[in-house]
Amino acid sequence: MQPRITVLTIGVDNLERSLAFYRDGLGLPTEGIVGEEFEHGRVAFFELQAGVKLALFPRADIARDAAIPQAGPSATEFTIGHNVGSKEEVDIAMEQARAAGAGIVKKAQATFWGGYAGYFQDPDGHLWEVVWNPAWESETM
C-alpha cells in the first residue's frame, strides 16, 4: 500500500449543522451537500491541500455502507491536526473555531516538546489540534 490518503471522512449526526460549521465558521471551501439523489448518499466534501479532501457523512450512513453496527462517538479515537506557521496563527485559528461554535477543550499553550498548541471539538465532538511545531518551520504550511 502506498502512503497516500486522499479523503478523510468523519461521521456526523447533523450534516447541515456540520456543513455550516466547516464552511461558514472555519471557511473551508465546498460545493455543499451532494449525493442527495441517492438514498443514504448525502455527503459534503471540502478541498484541503494537495488533492486531499475532508468528507462529512452521516454516522448512520457510514455504518450502513460499511455493514457494521453504528457505535457511539469518541473524541479520543483520533485527532485532526492543523499545523500553522507561528504561535500567533495558532491563536487566530483557535479563535476562529471558537467563534464558529467549537468547544475549546484546551487553550493554546506551550507544549512539553517546545511547540505551541490547543485543542477544540467540532459540533460532533471530533477533536482538532491546532499546532505550531518549530521543527517544521522550514516547511510550507
* DSSP conformation class of 3: S
For 40-99, how does the pLDDT look when each residue is reduced to its tens digit (9 = 90+)?
999 999 999 888 999 999 999 999 998 999 988 888 888 999 999 999 999 999 999 999
For residue 12, what are the β-bridge partners?
58
Report the C-alpha gap between 109 and 116 in whole angstroms. Answer: 5
User: Mind listing the pLDDT tens digit for each residue in 117-127?
Assistant: 999 999 999 99
Domains and CATH numbers, the chain: 7-66 (3.10.180.10), 79-136 (3.10.180.10)
Average pLDDT over residues 30-38: 94
- Report which of 126, 119, 125, 56 is spatially closest to residue 93, judged by C-alpha positions: 119
Contact yes or no for 100/17 (Cβ under 8 A) = no
Query: Above 70 in pLDDT, residue 23?
Result: yes
DSSP character for 86? S
Q: What is the Cα–Cα distance from 76 to 106, expressed in whole angstroms?
A: 14
d(CA 85, CA 129): 14
